[in-house]
Copies of this chain bind each other. A is one copy, B any other.
C-alpha cells in the first residue's frame, strides 16, 4: 500500500472534512455545565455515526456522567488505540467572542485561514485529524491500515470523573500496543512535537464562611470578620516573594531536570519574551531562578482560576459578605502526590482561618504527572514520519497542560501513550475566539496518515 494516494485523497477531500468538523463544532458539548448534558449526548451520537460510516463497530457507552464512545475495527499489524475528547470548555465571558462560539466558520486572517469556534482546537478539530486520516486511508485502500480502537470521552474539561472507572471496567477491551493521543500542540509554527512529559493537575474549590448572612458594612463593619479578607490572605500566602509555592511539603517529588533534557530544551531557543508578548505580558512570573520552558513544562504551579464574594454587579453595595469562594488548581510534575498535596493545602487553609470563619472544600480531580518511555521504537518512527510532513524536524518536548489520560493508559492498561498534536500557541483554547488553523487541520490529517503508514510498515 502506498502513502501518496492517501495524501492526495486527503488534499482533495479537505473541503468535505472541514464541513464535517464544522458540523461537530456546532454541538455545544460543554461538559462542566449540567445545562449542556443533552448536547454532550448529541456529540457522542454524532461520533458513533461517523465512525460507523468508516466501518468501525462503534457504540455510545453510558457512564454516571457523559458517555464514552468506543469503536473497534480489526486488521493486521500493531493494535493502535486513538484517544480524543468531544467535550469543550465553557464559553464565558461571552461578550469577548467576536461571534457565537457554536456557530463556527472558516475565516481568512492575516496569518492564514482558521476554523473559528469553541472546540476547534481543543479537542474536536484535533480528534478529527485522526478520523479523517482513517477515512482517506479507507477510501483509497478499502480498509483501515491495522487493528484500531477509537476511544473518545466527554468529560476531559471537567476532571474526567468517569474515565478511570470505565478504563478499569473495560481494561481488556481498551488494551492496545500503543495509545495515540491528539490533544497537544506544535513546538513552533513549522516544528511538530511529540510530548514526553505532562504535568498533573489538582483542583480544589473552597468556601470561607463567616457570619450567618450578608451584613451591612456600616452596622457590622470593623467588628465582624470578613471572609473575603480571609480568602485574600490565604491566596496571598500561597506564593512567596520569589514565586515559590508555600504549601508544606509541596516540592516533595519535584525532580531536577536531567542535564541532557535541559540541554535539548535550551537548543529549542524558546523565546519567552515573544511567547509572553503574544498575550500582552513581558516578565516570567514563576520561580525566578528557572527558565521559561522549565516554568511551563517541568515546574509545578499553583493558580487561582476563579474567586468570588459579595456584591459583584453594577454600582456599589456596602455589604459585608457571609461567604468567599475560590477555585484553585495546582499543576504537578515528577512524582508529586496529588492526594498528599490536597491534604497539605487543606491543612494550610485551616491554619489561616480566624476564630470566626469555617471552610468547606470541594475536590475537583487529581492526576499525577506523566513521563513517556521513548525507548519504544514506535516513538522514533513517528518522529521521522512527522518530520517528513513538516518543514522542521519533530522534537520531543514537555507540556504544561495536564492530560491525565496518558498516565491512566500506563497505570491501568500498561500501555505507553504517544502525544502528537497540531495546536498553536495562539489557538486561544479555553479563551474567547478559539480557533484551529486550517493548516493544522490539513497537515494534521496528513501527519496521521504518515504516522499510520510508519507504524504499520513493520
Binding site for B on A (CB under 8 A): 31-34, 89-90, 92-93, 96, 157-159, 185, 199, 201, 203, 205, 210-226, 228-229, 231-239, 272, 275-276, 279-287, 292, 295-296, 299-301, 303-321, 324-325, 327, 329, 331, 354-356, 364-365, 399-402, 425, 428-432
How long is the Cα–Cα vector from A306 to B319 in the complex, in angstroms? 8
* CB neighbours of A331 from chain B (8 A): 217-218, 221-222
The answer to whether A286 and B327 touch (CB under 8 A), given A315-B32, A401-B216, is no
Are B303 and A327 in contact, with the CB atoms below 8 A? no
How long is the Cα–Cα vector from A401 to B228 in the complex, in angstroms? 20
| Residue in B201, B275, B299, B307 whose CB lies within 8 Å of A228 | B307
Distance between A226 CB and nearest chain B CB, rounded to angstroms: 6
| Residue in B219, B275, B287 whose CB lies within 8 Å of A296 | B219
9 residue pairs A–B, Cβ–Cβ below 8 Å: A92-B313, A201-B218, A214-B431, A217-B331, A225-B285, A229-B238, A305-B319, A306-B309, A308-B308
Are B226 and A285 in contact, with the CB atoms below 8 A? yes
* CB neighbours of A33 from chain B (8 A): 313-315
Are A318 and B430 in contact, with the CB atoms below 8 A? yes
Are A327 and B301 in contact, with the CB atoms below 8 A? no
* CB neighbours of A96 from chain B (8 A): 213-214
* CB neighbours of A212 from chain B (8 A): 279-280
| Residue in B283, B296, B306 whose CB lies within 8 Å of A311 | B306
Tell me the nearest residue of chain B to A399, going by C-beta: B218
* CB neighbours of A214 from chain B (8 A): 93, 96, 430-432
Are A225 and B281 in contact, with the CB atoms below 8 A? yes
Are B236 and A229 in contact, with the CB atoms below 8 A? yes
Distance between A158 CB and nearest chain B CB, rounded to angstroms: 5
Count of identical protomers in the assembly: 2
Are B222 and A296 in contact, with the CB atoms below 8 A? yes
* CB neighbours of A364 from chain B (8 A): 315-316
Are A296 and B431 in contact, with the CB atoms below 8 A? no
Are B210 and A316 in contact, with the CB atoms below 8 A? no
The answer to whether A89 and B356 touch (CB under 8 A), given A217-B305, A224-B276, A226-B285, is no
* CB neighbours of A319 from chain B (8 A): 305-306, 430-431
How long is the Cα–Cα vector from A15 to B244 in the complex, in angstroms? 66
Are B223 and A284 in contact, with the CB atoms below 8 A? yes
Are B296 and A305 in contact, with the CB atoms below 8 A? no
| Residue in B226, B238, B292, B400 whose CB lies within 8 Å of A303 | B226
| Residue in B216, B300, B309 whose CB lies within 8 Å of A429 | B216
Are B236 and A232 in contact, with the CB atoms below 8 A? yes
| Residue in B234, B306, B311, B425 whose CB lies within 8 Å of A321 | B306
How long is the Cα–Cα vector from A220 to B297 in the complex, in angstroms? 10
| Residue in B32, B313, B356 whose CB lies within 8 Å of A285 | B356
Are B218 and A400 in contact, with the CB atoms below 8 A? yes
* CB neighbours of A272 from chain B (8 A): 223
Are A225 and B429 in contact, with the CB atoms below 8 A? no
Tell me the nearest residue of chain B to A428, going by C-beta: B213
Distance between A201 CB and nearest chain B CB, rounded to angstroms: 7
Tell me the nearest residue of chain B to A299, going by C-beta: B222
Are A356 and B306 in contact, with the CB atoms below 8 A? no
Are B226 and A304 in contact, with the CB atoms below 8 A? yes
Tell me the nearest residue of chain B to A122, going by C-beta: B216
Residue from A33, A213, A283 having most chain B Cβ neighbours under 10 A: A213
Are A215 and B158 in contact, with the CB atoms below 8 A? no
* CB neighbours of A89 from chain B (8 A): 317
| Residue in B93, B237, B286, B401 whose CB lies within 8 Å of A223 | B286
Are A283 and B356 in contact, with the CB atoms below 8 A? yes
* CB neighbours of A317 from chain B (8 A): 32, 89-90, 157, 305-306, 327, 430
* CB neighbours of A309 from chain B (8 A): 304, 306-308
Distance between A282 CB and nearest chain B CB, rounded to angstroms: 6
* CB neighbours of A316 from chain B (8 A): 32, 158-159, 203, 205, 305, 327, 329, 364-365
Tell me the nearest residue of chain B to A282, going by C-beta: B356
Tell me the nearest residue of chain B to A429, going by C-beta: B216
Are A223 and B307 in contact, with the CB atoms below 8 A? no
Residue from A34, A211, A281, A303 having most chain B Cβ neighbours under 10 A: A303
The answer to whether A311 and B327 touch (CB under 8 A), given A217-B301, A306-B319, A320-B303, is yes
